[in-house]
Structure 1
Amino acid sequence: SGPDARGFLQGLVTNDIEKLKPGRALYAALLSPQGKILFDFLLAEGDGAILIDCTAASRDSLIKRLAMYRLRAKVQIEPREQLAVLAGFEAPPSERGVVFEDPRLAALGFRTIGARAELPAPAHASSSYHDRRLQLGVPEGADFGLERIFALDGGLDELRAVDFEKGCYVGQELTARMKHRGTARKRLLPVEGPQGLAADVELRAGAHMIGEVVSVYGKRGFALVRLDRLEEAAGSPIEANGVGVSVTKPSWL
């Protein structure tokens, strides 16, 4: 919040803050100067501030990183402990809080940011959301690692997190160069195996390494895959730690 909040974020994040309106959220990321993903989040207007909807695990680190850039900007960066986020596939009543369609993908449904005490917390709500997200092949948070994956390799352009028409932001130069030169040869893709996967394990097609598992959720996960090598491996079995796995390209990519 604060009088400089919009300008402050505009100079930092990948999306165009000028497009943020009541009822219209944005997906965006904060990158390293080298263009790699540090944090991804949703932005919404409400409660007299710009609300940042991020994973709980990244919240404190994100606040600390934003504070590093604050300098003399008239902004307040603080957690809102009294607020919670509810994700669902139908639009809830607007009186429950700030309601918006998930800007990444319509199939992810709607999100509500509202008073923790007033938002319903259905049993298994969190697992239902993550199951849906994994089915759709949409990465978030820890799926990107920390300063490991370039914005375009992570699919942030396809998930509407990057505005190539806006001015400068942290990591903009390399991101724009990759876009215009078409040098994004890797993508973060869903991977699934018959049993529990392990992170930081190579994906191999015969003698060739085609990628590496980055994050895991039981039998599912995300792997950073070389697209040319995946294409060359078409029809060949793909393995992780000697176990056969499947790698798919989401319909939105």
Structure 2
Amino acid sequence: MMTQIAALTDRAVLRIGGGEARPFLQGLLTNDVDALAPDKPLWAGLLSPQGKYLFDMILFDTGDTILADVPAARAPDLLKRLTMYKLRKDVTVAASDLKVFAAWDGESDAPYDPRLPGLGRRWMAESADTTATLADYIAHRLSLGVPDSDDYPVDRLMWLESNAVELNGVSFTKGCYVGQENTARMHHRDKLRKRLLPVLLTADPQEERSLRAGDREAGELISHHGGHGVALMRVEQAGEPLTLGGAAVTIEWPSWLGAGPRAE
């Protein structure tokens, strides 16, 4: 099978350098930046003090600097936020001209996507020979049930509701970071009541976003591409018959998420 290689044109790259770059990020992000290595990228979130999603990024270690693969539409806001946080630390944050690429269904020397190996390999470069489109990559990602940055409601989604535990986006053994208290409490004490789940649509939702289980609201459609979508669901209702605007909707519970809604 020919390797599929796509330029992820919805992503941008920030370059984070300086002598204190690693401890700076370690004190901000949900994952253990000390574990970052050239062959081991990390997915991490930057949260509000209340533990709600603000930004996410995939970090790459180049040896002398850290590159952050981020959603392009929000890269300027993230750059401003990191610049605000760094104060007088020996840290530099700047936009990069590098582009983000992904490869799947074949061979590549790049590291695996840290969220799920099935997503394929991921890297940054000035250019690459592509054999697929961004739409092809999105279809591949959705076939695995993995949400992405555009699926995370800003300042509404708790980080664990993004499936951060299952997709390797959080460390419960590192030191403090912004939003840690509520994230840790949710993990250790609370049952996760909502999470992002992949859904299969049987009709074009138009402007409809409310998923229903009978006469009860069960979730919110966040995004969709063709018949596949991502919804923020109440887990207790994910196993019930669901509709969106009167049309049937099916939860496509992914294998990486465990046994299914009745096991929650």
TM-score by length of 2: 0.86
Equivalence map 1:9-88=2 (5 Å): 9-46=25-62, 48-81=64-97, 83-88=98-103
Residue 101 (structure 1) shift:
1.1
Q: Take 1:185 and 1:76, find their aligned partners in 2: how far apart are those partners?
A: 39
Q: Would the aligned equivalents of 2:208 and 2:245 in 1 still touch at CA under 8 Å?
A: no
Equivalence map 1:138-217=2 (5 Å): 138-198=146-206, 201-217=209-225
Aligned residues: percent identity?
Answer: 43
Q: Would the aligned equivalents of 2:200 and 2:250 in 1 still touch at CA under 8 Å?
A: yes
- Count of residue correspondences: 240
In the other structure, the counterpart of 2:112 is 101
Q: Would the aligned equivalents of 1:200 and 1:214 in 2 still touch at CA under 8 Å?
A: no
Q: Take 1:45 and 1:154, find their aligned partners in 2: how far apart are those partners?
A: 24
Q: Would the aligned equivalents of 2:115 and 2:167 in 1 still touch at CA under 8 Å?
A: yes
Q: What SS does the corresponding residue of 1:79 show, helix, strand or coil?
A: strand
Matched to 2:40, the amino acid is: R
In the other structure, the counterpart of 1:248 is 252
Q: Take 1:214 and 1:16, find their aligned partners in 2: how far apart are those partners?
A: 29
Structure 2 unaligned spans of 5+? 1-16, 258-264
Q: What SS does the corresponding residue of 1:6 show, helix, strand or coil?
A: helix
Residue 76 (structure 1) shift:
0.9
Give 1:110's match in structure 2, choosing from 96, 121, 132: 121
CA RMSD between the two structures: 1.6
Q: Would the aligned equivalents of 1:202 and 1:213 in 2 still touch at CA under 8 Å?
A: yes
Matched to 2:49, the amino acid is: P
Matched to 1:110, the amino acid is: R
Following TM superposition, the consecutive aligned residue runs of length 4 or more in structure 1 with deviations greater than 6 angstroms are: none
Q: Deviations over 1:154-192 (max 9, x none)?
A: 101110010000111111000000000133111100112
